[in-house]
Amino acid sequence: MSRRVYTPNRRSFLRGLGTAGLALPFLESLPERSAFAQSETPTFGFFMCNSCGVVQNKFWPSATGALTMESLQAEADSRACGLLADYADRLLIIEGVTYPGSGSGCAHAAGLAKCLTAADVSGGGKDVFPNAASCDVVIGEQLGTTPLTLYAGQKGGYIHEKLSFSAGGQTRAAEGNPYNVYLDLAGLLDASGQPTPMAGQLSLRRQSINDLVSEDLNSLLGNSRISYADKQRLQLHLDSIRDLENRMTDGGSSAACSGASLDMGALEAMQPSGSGFGGNDPSRANGSQEEVCKLQMELVALAFSCNVTRVATLQAGDGTDGTQYTIDGEQYERVHHISHRINGDGTSGSAIAGAEEKHARIDRLRIETLKHAIEKWSQYDTPNGPLLDNGFIYWTNHVADGPSHSFRNLPIIVVGNGGGYLKQGAYIDAGGTSNAQVLNTLMTANGAPSENFGTGGTGLVAEMLANA
C-alpha cells in the first residue's frame, strides 16, 4: 500500500500535547481529509479483481435486460448473480467484454496485468508486465490523490500482486493485512511503516471515548499557559468527541467519516503476532481470504467517506490461487486446481470429483462477499449524499473461466452509479468490446475523463451510461 504524506495541522499539534485523539483516529488523525470544498461533487471508484475465472453457465442471469429483485430471486439457486437480488436496482452486469492486445507468458499473470491497464504485455511465465500504467494510477494523477492499493491472499504461490501499475508497468505494492490498512488510515504508523505506541491501544476504542480523553483534555483546559483561543479549540474538540460518541451509539444506519460501522474485533483479530510468512499473520492464513476481502472493502468505504482518496484497488487471491475454501463443512482443493478441474497447475493431474460444482460454489461465496460489501457501503455517506450514489464498485476476474483461461466474456459487475453517470438495474451485452472502453467509461465516472485509455478500442461503452 502506497504511503500517504500527512500535513501537520493544529489538531495534530494538540494531539501531540497529550490529547487522546487516538480514541477517534478517523476524526483526529487524518488532517484535512474530510474537507470537501463546497463546490466539489467528488466521485469514488473501487476496482476489485478475483482469481481463476467463473463457471459461466452458472454465473450470469438468464437474459439481458432490466434487473429486478424478483427476476434475480427466481434464479438465486442456480445462478451466482441471483444472490444479489436485494440490490438489483444498484447493479450493472456486463457480459461480452474481452482483454485486448498482445499477450505472453502465464495467462493468470497476463490477465492480472491487463485487468486495469487494457494494455499489451511482454515477458514470460509469471514475469509478465504491461507497457502502461493502470487506470487507478491515471485517475489518481488527474485528481491529485494517491490510490489505495490492497490485497487479499496468501502470497505463497507462483504469482503475487500484479494489478496496480505505475507508469512503465512497474507493479505497485499492495497491503494485504486490513489491520495495517486501518493503522495507516488512522495515522498510527510511523515514517518507517511501523505501528506507533498509540496503535497498541486500539482496543480502548471500545471504552467510553470521553472516559479516555477527558483527563488529558481537562488537564490542558486548566493549564494557565494555554491561551484562551486554544482553550476554546480544546473545548470544541471535547464537544465534538462527545457528539461523535453519541452518533456511534445511537443505532443510526449511516456513517460519514466515522468508524462506527467497522468491526473492530475482526480488524484486531488480523493483528500480526510476528514477522515472516505463516500463521503469525492471520490475514495470510489459508481460508481467510473472504474475511480479509470484506474488511478491506469496508475500509475502502471508510476511506472514501473521509475523502482520504478517491480511487482504490483490491486484488483478491494470488494469480495461481492456492486458497482452500471450506464450504458446508468440506475443505476443498486449491482454487487454482479446481479451476483446472484436476489436481495440478497445468494440463496433467488426477481429476477432481465435482470440480465444476465446487467452482460454482466458490463463485457464489465470492458473490456473497460482494453482497456484504454492498450492504456496508450502503451505510456510508459523503457530503454529497450516499456513497453508492457518488461512487462505484467494479467487480471482475483476471480470466473469464477456469479450464480455458479465456480472456473473452469476462465476468463484470458494477455497483453504484458514480454520481448519476452509470446505468443501474440492467444486464447488458457489450458485444465483444475491449475492457479499455469499459475502463474509459469508469474513469470518466470517477472524475477523470478518458476516451483513449489502453488498447483495443476508444470511446465509452454507451450502454453503460445512465442516459442510454
pLDDT at 196: 64
Q: What element of type H or E holds 329?
A: none
Which tens digits make up the pLDDT trace of 240-293? 555 544 443 333 334 567 677 788 889 889 988 764 444 589 999 999 999 999
Between the alpha carbon of residue 425 and those of residues 34, 88, 95, 176, the distances in Å are 31, 6, 14, 32
pLDDT at 24: 35
Q: Which residues contact 14 (CB under 8 A, 6 or more apart)?
A: 21, 220, 230, 233, 234, 237
- CATH of the structural domain 44-176+289-464, one choice from 3.30.1540, 1.10.10, 3.30.1330, 3.40.720: 3.40.720
Which tens digits make up the pLDDT trace of 84-114? 999 999 999 999 999 997 667 789 999 999 9
Residue of 219, 222, 253, 257 lying closest to 240 (CA atoms): 257
Q: How confident is the model at residue 12 (pLDDT cuts 50, 70, 90)?
A: very low
Mean pLDDT throughout 308-336?
95
CB burial readout 248-274, b (16+ within 10 A) else e: beeeeeebbbbbbbbeeeebeebbeee
Q: What is the pTM of this model?
A: 0.84
Mean pLDDT throughout 28-40?
46
Q: SS3 string of 120-165?
A: CEEEECCEEEECCCCHHHHHHHHHCCCCEEEEECCCCCCCCCCCCE
What are the extents of the domains in the chain?
44-176+289-464
Mean pLDDT throughout 176-188?
85
